[in-house]
Structure 1
Amino acid sequence: MYVSYKWLQQYVDVSDITPSDLAEKITRSGIEVEGVDVLNEGISGVVVGHVLEREQHQNADKLNKCLVDLGNGETVQIICGAANVDKGQKVAVATVGAVLPGNFKIKKAKLRGEESHGMICSLQELGIESKLVSKEYSEGIFVFPNDVEVGADALAQLNLNDSILELGLTPNRSDCLSMLGVAHEVAAILGTSVTYPEVSYETVSEKASEAISLTIEAKQDNPLYIAKVIKNVKIAPSPLWMQTRLMAAGIRPHNNVVDITNFVLLEYGQPLHAFDYDRLGSKEILVRRAKAGEKIVTLDDQERTLTEEHLVITNGTEPVALAGVMGGANSEVHSDTTTILLESALFDGGTIRTSSKDHGLRSEASARFEKGVDHNRVRAAAERAAQLIAQYAGGEVLQGSAIFDEVNKEQAVISTTVEKINAVLGMNISSEEIKAIFDRLQFEVTSDNGTITVTVPSRRGDITIEEDLVEEVARLYGYDNIPTTLPVGASIPGKLTEYQAKRRKVRRYLEGVGLCQAITYSLTSTEKATKFALEQSEVTRLSLPMSEERSALRLSLIPHLLETLKYNIARQIDQVSLYETGSVFISNGEGKQPTEKERLSGAITGLWHVHAWQGEKKPVDFYVVKGILDGLFDVLGLTDVISYKQAKREGMHPGRTAEVFVADNLVGYVGQAHPVVQKELDLSETFVFELSLVDLLTVNLEEVRFASIPRHPSSTRDIALVVNSEVIAGDIKVAIIEAGGKWLQDVEVFDVYQGDRLEENKKSVAYSLRYFDPERTLTDEDVTKAHEKVLKAVEEKFGAVLRG
C-alpha cells in the first residue's frame, strides 16, 4: 500500500511529524514501512510555463521553436521535440540551471542553429513511471489545465512535493488498504482523531429503484449490493489533483468516472464499478453463479470461459462483469457515456479468490475483497463516489439506491482481563492505560473490576480472539517499553545444549584454520547417493522426485562438496577449502522413515600456503588434512582416544587413505580422492574427510586433571627398527606403548627409510621414546631395563631388529 503523506493530512493531523519519523512510528507499532520515497528528491528549477508561440524549426522536421512565458515577465525560447506541443498550452519547464532525476542538469544549448533556454518536460522526465502516465500524455509533454498560474512551482502543481510511505501489510491488516484505514492507525499512534470527508450532493426527483431492478441469487456470495444511477454525465479527464493522487498510489488515470471509482477505492478501501447504463441491455442487475461454459469478454479484451464457481454480474441474461475482479467490455464506460450505473457491493473473499486465480486476474479490487472489506463502508463509498461524479463529471444523481442487504452486522465483542494482558506481556499496565489505548483505536470499551470488554468496529475484521486484544495493547503501548528480564527457573530456555555448543566450536575451529562453510542439497541422484558413504545403507528414494538428479537422499556429503570444488575451479578459483556439517539418511527399510545422522565433511584442493615474496608454495597433501583433524580433535579433547589406521575405501586413493577410530569404533576417514574420481571432475590432487559428528561430540571424556610441573628430568632413547615393508608403523607404536610400562610417557615416529642400504621389502622406522618418573630421577639401569622390554616385544610381534 502506497500512502501519500500530503493526502493523509486531509484525514489526520500529521503536520508536527516528518514522513520519516512517521514511518518509524508506524513500523514500531507493528506495520512495516518498507521505504519512504521523496518524489521531488533531486529535482529543482521546474516551473509552469505558458507557450506563447510555436513554429516548426526551419532546420529540423521534428523540432519546434517555442516562445515560453515563465512568469514574472521572463520570456525565453525553447526548442522542443514533442509532437503535441502547441501554442496556448501551460507546460512544465525545466529552466536553465534546473536539475532533473538522475542529476541531469539543464544548460543553455543550441539545437540546429537555434538557442534553447530550458526544456519543456514530460511526466516521465520528472520521475513518474511511464505505466502511471495517462494515455493522453504517455508520449510527449504534459499539459496543465488552463487555470494553473504561470511561473508557479510545477512540482507542487503535480503534487510531487510529497513523500510516499510504502507499507508492507500482512494479510490480516486489510483495514490499512485504504487511506482512512491508515488514518485510523496513525491517529491511534499519535493520539489524535480522524476526519472523514463531508458527503453531500443534490439529487433529481427520479428514483434509482425505478431505473434499475436488483435480484441476488447467490446471497452467500453477495450479501450486500448497492446500485446508484447517475444521469447526464460528461466523460472528461479528472481534475489534476485526483490524477496525481492516483499516480502516487500506483494507479494510472483514465477519465473522470473511472478515476473517481479508483480514488474512492483508495480512500475507503471499498472497490466500486461503473457500468454504462445504456449499454447494459436491460434495466435489471442479476447476481448469480456463472453457468458452466458461459463466456465473457473482460475490459482487457480477453474472452474468458466461466465455471459454476465464478460469480458474475448480469443484465438478467448475459454477464456484464466478473464480480469483484473485472468488468465486461460490453458495459464499459466510453467517451460518449451519459448515464452511469454505480456498483458498490460486498462479495465473499473465497469466491473472488477463485475467480481471480482461475483467470490470472489480480486487481486492486480483488485484492481487497479477498482479504475482506468493511460492510459499513459499502454505502458510504457509494455516496462519496456519487458526490464526486456530480461534482467533477456534471452528473445528476437519482434519489436513493437499489439495495439488497442481508449482511450480518453483528459486531464482535471480546473480553479480557488486565491480569491476562500483563501476564502475557510481562508488564504492569494499569486498567486506565489499557482503556486509553482502546479509546485511541476508537474501539468501544468498558472496564469493570479488571475485566476489559471491547466491541470491535467492523473495519477491524482481524480482531477475533482475546490474544488479538493483547497484541493491540502491546503494539500501541510500545514493544520497546516491554522490560528486558532474565528467565528464571530450573533450566534457562534458549541456552545451547552441550552438543550444539561443541558443534559451534567445530565450525569456529575449521573456519579459523581457513576452511569455508558450504551448504549443499540433501537430495541427489541414486548413482551418487552411495558414493563415499561412511556407513553402508539402502538408498532412500523420494516418492515424487522433481528430477532424477534430486531423487534420493544422500548417504555422504562428499559428492556434493566435490561438485562445488569443480564449480569453483571452472571459474578460476584454484584454491578451495570447504567443510560442511549436515545430515545423511540411513534407510530403515521400505516405507519407513530414514534415520538422520549428522556428518562433518571437508574437501580441499590447490595450494595450502603461498608466500609469493619468499617464493614458497605448499600444495595440500595428506598430512595437511590430517593435521587439520588432529587440531580439531585437540580442541574437542579427543587426542588420547583417536587413532588412525591405513585403509582402502571405494572412491579413495588406495595408498593415501586412513580410517579414524575412537577406541575400536570407526568414526570416519581421511585421504585423497581416487585419481579416477579426480579426472572425472577435472580436479587436481584433492583431499577429503568425513566424520560422524554425533559419535565425536558424544564421547564420554574423563575429567581433565592437572599435574604440577615435574621436578625431575626425563630420559630419551631413539631406536630405528628394521621390519618388513607391509608392517604398519602405528601397530609398532601400540606394541611399544604396551611394553614400555608406567615410565614410558611419549612415543613419536620421526623417520622412515627404504633404500639401497636395506634388504628388499624391508624398511626402517625410527621412534623417539621418552621415559619419566614424577617421583624421582630414573637411572640408566631403570631406563635400560624398560627399554629392553620394548625391544623384546617388537622383535616377538614384528620380527623387528635394531638397525646397525
Structure 2
Amino acid sequence: MLLSRKWLNEFVPVDADDRTFAEDMTLSGSKVEVTEVEGAEISNVVVGRVVEIKRHENSDHMWICQVDIGEGAPVQIVTGAQNVSQGDLVPVAKHNSTLPGDIHIKKGKLRGEVSDGMLCSYKELGMTDNDWPYSIVDGIFLLESDPDLKSKNLKPGDDIRTAIGLDDHVVEFEITPNRPDCLSVIGLAREAAVTYGKPLTLHDPVVKGGGPGNLPDLLDVETPDPDLCPRYTARMVRNVKIAPSPKWMRDRLRASGVRPINNIVDITNYVMLEYGQPMHAFDYRYVKGGKIIVRRAKDGESLTTLDGNVRNLNSSMLVIADETRAVGLAGIMGGENSEIVEDTVDVVFESANFNGTSIRRTALALGMRTEASAKFEKGLDILNTLPAVNRACELVELLGAGEVVDGTIDILNFVPHPTQLALRPEKINALLGTDIAAEEMRRILTDLGFGVEGDTITVPSWRGDVAHYSDLAEEVARFYGYNQIPTTAMHGVTTQGGYSAQQVLERNLGSLCRGMGYSEIITYSFISPTYYDKIRLPEDSPLRKSMKIMNPLGEDTSIMRTTVLPSMLEILTRNYNYRNKAVRLYELGRTYFEQEDGMAEEPKLLSLGLYGPEEDFFSLKGSVETILESIRAMDVTYEAVHDNPSFHPGRCARVLIQGEAVGVLGQIHPLVAANYGVDTDLYYAELSFDKLFAHRGADPEYVPLPKFPAVTRDIAVLVDQEITVGALEACIHEAAQALLKEVALFDIYQGENLPAGKKSVAFNLVLRADDRSLTAQEADDEVKLILEQLGTTFGATLR
C-alpha cells in the first residue's frame, strides 16, 4: 500500500520526517517497507520564462532562447523544440542539474552557440501524458498549458518540483492479510492518529443530487446469489462530461501508483484508495433493459474484460450482468462492453461487497489478480459500500463531471451483528507482562474506533480480525508501545511432557513388531480404484465406497483407502521382485470412511505382511498371539473365515477378544497373489488399533510362585475334521473349574486306524490348587468334566 503524506495530512497532520514516521508506524504495528520522495532524482531544475527567441543561424530547426530563471540576466539555451514561443513558462535544467535516469546536464555549445542548460519536456522530468493531459507529448513542457498550473502564478526561479507538485513523500506499507482496513488512506490515517495522539478528521460525504430522473425508475438490481454478494449499492450520474481529472487528484493517484485516465474512472480509483472500497463505473447505455443482475456465470459463458482478453467462465464465478449478457467480472474487472469512453453520457456507480473466497478463486482460475480482487479476497467491511458510493457522487459534483440522480439502490443480503468482547485488564496485563491501567486501555480502544461502555467493547465493522480478548491485548500493546513493555526473565510453571496412553501402546506395538523381525513401512493413504479389483473385493462391498480426492495427482492416487491390504501387497510385491527371499513388514496406518455428515472417520490399523520359505499361517498366527499377549488381552479366540475373497478359504481366521472381532489373519488367496505377479505364498494380518487399545488388560501385578505342585493329564479325543483346535480349547476352558491352569496342544493326527472324516487332537492339561496339593481323584474328576463337555458339544470321544 502506497501512502501519500500530503493525502494523509488531510486526515491527520503529522510533522515527523519520513524516517521517524516509518519507525513510529512500524512500532505501532503498521510495517513500513520503503519511503521515497517524488522527483528526488531532479535537482537544479527551475521555472523559466522565455523572454526572447530567434532562429539558430547554423541550423534549420534549432532556436536560441533567452530565458529568465530569476537570477538577474537571462541565460541562453539552445533547443530543437518547435512548440516554444516568447513568454512561455518552461522547466529549465540549469548547468550541473540532474534528471531521472541518471542524466546530468551541463553547459556546452550547439552548432557554435553557447547553451547554459536545457528546456525540459515532462517525459524528461519522469512523467507521462496521463499526468499532464493538456500538454504536447513531443515538445517542451509548457507549464501554463495546464489550467491548474496557470492558476498558481508561477514565476521564474521557482523550484520545478514544488511548482508542478512533484515533491510528495510516499510511504510503502506491508499490510498483513488480516488488516484489509489498512489498504486505504483512511485506515492508515486512523493508525497514524492513534500513534501520534492526534485527532482524526473524517468527512461525511454530502451529495446535492437533483439530476434528471429518479434512480429506482431508471435501474433495477437483482442478487439471486446472496451468499456471494452480501451487499450491493449503486447510484447514477447523468449528463457526464468526460475530461481529465484536476491536478490534485492526478497527483494523489500518481503518488499511490495509479495511472490517471479520466475524471470518472479516476474518481472510482480515488475512492478505492481513500476508503479501501473497490468501485466500478458502468456506461448506462450498455446495461440492456436497465437491469443489473449479480449472478453466477453460466458454464461456457465468455466475457471480454477491459484489458481486451476473452475470459471463459464457469458457474463457480460471479458476474455482473444485464438481461442478456455479462458486463463485468464481480470484484475483479469490468467488461469491455460497458467501459467509460469519451461519449459516455450516463454512468452507474457500483459499490458492492462480494464473497472474498469466491473472488480469490475466480482471480486465481483466470490468472487476473487486480487491485480490486486483492482487496475483496481479504474480506472488506460490509458497511463501507454506501459511504464510498456517496463519496464518489460528491466528487462528481465537486469536479462538475455530471448530475447525480436522486435515490440509492442498496441491497443488504446479510445483516452483520457487531462483535462484543469483555475488557479484562488483569488478563491483558498478565498476557503482556505489563501494568497498564484500565482507563489507558479504554482510551486506546476508543481512539481506534472501538465502542467502549464500561468493560464491554464493541468491535467496529472494519476490524473483522478482532474476535478474542487476546486481540484486544494486541491493540493495547501496539499503542502502549512495545518498547515500553519491560524485558523480564522467563518464568512460570513448566508442564511435564509425556505420551498419551494411545501413544504408549503405539510405540510398544512398533517396538514389539521390530523385535519379531518386522520392518516398518509407511504407505500412501490415497490409492487407485483398481486396487480393489486386484484384491478381489466384491462389487457390492461397502469398502468400495471411498472418499474421492478433489485434486488428485493422478488416477493412481485418486481415492482414500478403506483397507490397508493393497498397500501392504504393493510393498511385498516390490520386495519379491527385488529378489528378497524372506520379508516381514508392519505398518500402523489409517483407513478413511465418509460419515453421514460428510466428515471422515479415520480408524487406525496394525497390519502385518510376510512371505518366505520358513513362513506359514502359524508363524503369522504366532506373531498375532504375541501381540495380543503383550497387551494382556483376555478371552482371545479365533474363528475360521471361508467367505473372504482376498484370503485362502481354508487358511483364514477372524480374531476375537471377548467375542468382539478385532481383526483378521491368513494366507492371501493365490488368485490375488497372481494379480500382483507373485508365485509364492503371502500372509497378511490386520488388527484394529482402537479395539486393541480398548481390550488391553491391566498392568501386570506380582504373583508369588505357586507353593503346591501341579498335576498334569494328557487327553486325546476323536472329533470331526472340520472342528478347529481353537473351538476345542475354548470348550475345555469353559468346562473346567478353577483347578485348570494351562492347556497346550501337542498333537494332531489324521491317518490310518481312524474313522473316515475324523482326527485325533491331543492336549496337555496342567491342574493346580492354590491352597493345597491335589489328589489324583480331584484331577480325574476335573478331566472327567472336561471330557463330558467335549462330548456334549462336539461329539468328541476319548481315544
Answer yes or no: is 1:209 the counterpart of 2:216: yes
Does the CA contact (< 8 Å) of 1:235 and 1:393 recur in 2? no
Alignment match, 1:392: 399
Q: Give deviations 1:261-294, integer Å, cap 9, x for gaps.
A: 1111111111111111223343111111100010
Does the CA contact (< 8 Å) of 1:227 and 1:401 recur in 2? yes
Distance 2:48 2:423 in 1: 62
Distance 1:359 1:87 in 2: 55
Residue type of the partner of 1:487? M
Mapping for residues 462-541 of structure 1, pairs under 5 Å: 462-488=465-491
Alignment match, 1:126: 125
Distance 2:379 2:67 in 1: 51
Mapping for residues 341-490 of structure 1, pairs under 5 Å: 341-447=348-454, 452-488=455-491
Secondary structure of 2:398 counterpart: helix
Alignment match, 1:8: 8
Distance 2:295 2:329 in 1: 10
Alignment match, 1:21: 20
Secondary structure of 1:414 counterpart: strand
Decide whether aligned partners of structure 1 residues 178 and 300 sit closer, same or farther in structure 2, where only a CA change above 3 A counts. Answer: same
Higher-Rg structure is 2
Distance 1:469 1:439 in 2: 12
Decide whether aligned partners of structure 1 residues 83 and 267 sit closer, same or farther in structure 2, where only a CA change above 3 A counts. Answer: farther
TM-score by length of 2: 0.58
Alignment match, 1:315: 322
Answer yes or no: is 1:272 the counterpart of 2:272: no
Q: Give deviations 1:148-194, integer Å, cap 9, x for gaps.
A: 43334321244332221111111111111000000101111112221
Q: Which moved more, 1:229-238 or 1:120-129?
A: 120-129
Alignment match, 1:177: 183
Distance 1:326 1:58 in 2: 56
Residue type of the partner of 2:179? R
Alignment match, 2:639: none
Q: Give deviations 1:135-154, integer Å, cap 9, x for gaps.
A: 98776655541334333432
Secondary structure of 2:327 counterpart: strand
Mapping for residues 231-250 of structure 1, pairs under 5 Å: 231-250=238-257
Q: Which moved more, 1:174-183 or 1:131-140?
A: 131-140
Secondary structure of 2:478 counterpart: helix
Secondary structure of 1:410 counterpart: coil
**CA displacement at 1:59 relative to structure 2:** 5.8
Secondary structure of 2:198 counterpart: coil
Does the CA contact (< 8 Å) of 1:49 and 1:150 recur in 2? no
Secondary structure of 1:287 counterpart: strand
Distance 2:205 2:409 in 1: 19
Q: Which moved more, 1:302-311 or 1:192-201?
A: 192-201
Secondary structure of 1:484 counterpart: coil
Decide whether aligned partners of structure 1 residues 434 and 107 sit closer, same or farther in structure 2, where only a CA change above 3 A counts. Answer: same
Decide whether aligned partners of structure 1 residues 189 and 424 sit closer, same or farther in structure 2, where only a CA change above 3 A counts. Answer: same
Secondary structure of 2:237 counterpart: strand
Alignment match, 1:302: 309
Decide whether aligned partners of structure 1 residues 382 and 480 sit closer, same or farther in structure 2, where only a CA change above 3 A counts. Answer: same
Secondary structure of 1:260 counterpart: helix
Does the CA contact (< 8 Å) of 1:297 and 1:330 recur in 2? yes
Does the CA contact (< 8 Å) of 1:192 and 1:440 recur in 2? no
Mapping for residues 600-639 of structure 1, pairs under 5 Å: none
Residue type of the partner of 1:18? D
Alignment match, 1:155: 161
Between the aligned residues of both structures, percent identity stands at 43
Decide whether aligned partners of structure 1 residues 51 and 312 sit closer, same or farther in structure 2, where only a CA change above 3 A counts. Answer: farther
**CA displacement at 1:251 relative to structure 2:** 1.0
Mapping for residues 562-581 of structure 1, pairs under 5 Å: none
Does the CA contact (< 8 Å) of 2:424 and 2:469 recur in 1? no
Distance 1:249 1:489 in 2: 48
Distance 1:56 1:591 in 2: 94
Q: Give deviations 1:493-515, integer Å, cap 9, x for gaps.
A: 9xxxxxxxxxxxxxxxxxxxxxx
**CA displacement at 1:6 relative to structure 2:** 1.5
Does the CA contact (< 8 Å) of 1:280 and 1:330 recur in 2? no
Pick aligned residue for 2:195 from 184, 189, 194: 189
Distance 1:481 1:492 in 2: 30
Decide whether aligned partners of structure 1 residues 348 and 18 sit closer, same or farther in structure 2, where only a CA change above 3 A counts. Answer: same
Distance 2:110 2:477 in 1: 64
Alignment match, 1:739: none
Secondary structure of 1:203 counterpart: coil
**CA displacement at 1:204 relative to structure 2:** 2.0
Secondary structure of 1:220 counterpart: coil
Structure 2, unmatched stretches of 5+, are 497-518, 527-552, 554-582, 590-799
Distance 1:382 1:72 in 2: 50
Decide whether aligned partners of structure 1 residues 78 and 420 sit closer, same or farther in structure 2, where only a CA change above 3 A counts. Answer: same
Decide whether aligned partners of structure 1 residues 404 and 543 sit closer, same or farther in structure 2, where only a CA change above 3 A counts. Answer: closer
Does the CA contact (< 8 Å) of 2:301 and 2:314 recur in 1? yes
**CA displacement at 1:64 relative to structure 2:** 6.0
**CA displacement at 1:540 relative to structure 2:** 10
Does the CA contact (< 8 Å) of 2:131 and 2:250 recur in 1? no
CA root-mean-square deviation? 3.5
Alignment match, 2:171: 165
Secondary structure of 1:383 counterpart: helix
**CA displacement at 1:44 relative to structure 2:** 2.9
Decide whether aligned partners of structure 1 residues 19 and 265 sit closer, same or farther in structure 2, where only a CA change above 3 A counts. Answer: same
**CA displacement at 1:129 relative to structure 2:** 8.7
Give the aligned length: 505
Residue type of the partner of 1:360? G
Alignment match, 2:43: 44
Pick aligned residue for 2:267 from 245, 255, 260: 260
Distance 1:69 1:275 in 2: 49
Distance 1:128 1:107 in 2: 22
**CA displacement at 1:412 relative to structure 2:** 1.2
Does the CA contact (< 8 Å) of 1:256 and 1:393 recur in 2? no
Does the CA contact (< 8 Å) of 2:66 and 2:75 recur in 1? yes
Alignment match, 1:200: 206
Secondary structure of 1:262 counterpart: helix
Decide whether aligned partners of structure 1 residues 467 and 118 sit closer, same or farther in structure 2, where only a CA change above 3 A counts. Answer: same
Residue type of the partner of 1:231? R
Distance 1:405 1:105 in 2: 59
Distance 2:28 2:311 in 1: 43
Does the CA contact (< 8 Å) of 1:320 and 1:329 recur in 2? yes
Decide whether aligned partners of structure 1 residues 186 and 336 sit closer, same or farther in structure 2, where only a CA change above 3 A counts. Answer: same
Decide whether aligned partners of structure 1 residues 445 and 252 sit closer, same or farther in structure 2, where only a CA change above 3 A counts. Answer: same
Secondary structure of 1:165 counterpart: strand
Distance 1:260 1:326 in 2: 16
Distance 1:283 1:67 in 2: 60
Q: Give deviations 1:618-637, integer Å, cap 9, x for gaps.
A: xxxxxxxxxxxxxxxxxxxx
TM-score by length of 1: 0.57
**CA displacement at 1:386 relative to structure 2:** 1.1
Does the CA contact (< 8 Å) of 2:288 and 2:324 recur in 1? no
Secondary structure of 1:218 counterpart: coil
Q: Give deviations 1:38-89, integer Å, cap 9, x for gaps.
A: 2243533333345678788676677666565546887555444568767876
Structure 1, unmatched stretches of 5+, are 494-536, 547-586, 594-804
Secondary structure of 2:93 counterpart: strand
